[in-house]
Amino acid sequence: MLDQTQLKHNAAQAAIQYIQPLLGPDVVLGVGTGSTVDLFIDALEAHKALFRGAASSSERSAVRLRARGITVFDLNEVSAMPVYVDGADEIDAQLNMIKGGGGALTREKIVASVAGQFVCIVDESKLVAGLGRFPLPVEVIPMAREAVARRLTELGGRPVLRDGFVTDNGCQILDVAGLRIPDPADLEARVNNIPGVVCCGLFALDGADVALISTQDGVRRIDRQPA
């Protein structure tokens, strides 16, 4: 029986195999944030001579990339990238996701928006029939925190401030439990339209293109189906 760390390691290795045909001397990769991505970064070190560098969704990942000898580019220096690799806190069979457990959700969405495809790497515990068991992170401008919390309560959620945490953007996170999410894209749009919300952790309007899900029986690949 593989433990969760071994499952994450297998997902990271599968991502390395997936991106290898996309590497080249001018290629900049998009790299996300989280424990599975940490393992991906570690594995990426052996291939660093095959690509130009990476654009990161967080300071945490940028530090790890630099420590592995991988050049980190500001996203403003990057006009295109073939692939963005990141994890998820939850993902469903349609490749909608909840992300932001590490607090990097806004930068994750921004970096992912520049990439040709989003590859999500997770262990099997993150695959769910329906999103919402994991509280939805919502990044908010500090002065709007209570106003946003009231609106999220009206949507049926129970928002709680992530105490003592400040995002790389200088904002705060409300973790919202109790939401029903039958239509992830609709809820994403509604939450993002609340004044004071920087970004919410639903990735459904632009979900993953490919999921590499590490299981006890190997890595399972799911591709997003055309709408």
Which parts are annotated binding residues for substrate? 33-36, 86-89, 99-102, 126
State the Cα–Cα distance between residues 181 and 222, nearest whole angstrom. 21
Beta bridge partners of 121: 212
Beta strands in the chain (DSSP E): 28-31, 53-56, 84-86, 90-91, 97-98, 118-123, 136-140, 158-161, 172-177, 197-200, 202-203, 210-215, 218-223
Has 108 been annotated as catalytic? yes
**Residue 84: what are its φ and ψ, rounded to 5°?**
-120, 130
The strand pairing partners of 124, in sequence order, are none
> Which SS3 state, helix, strand or coil, does residue 162 take?
coil
Binding-site annotation, residues: 33-36, 86-89, 99-102, 126
The active-site residue, picked from 108, 124, 146, 154, is 108
SS3 160: strand
Positions marked active-site: 108
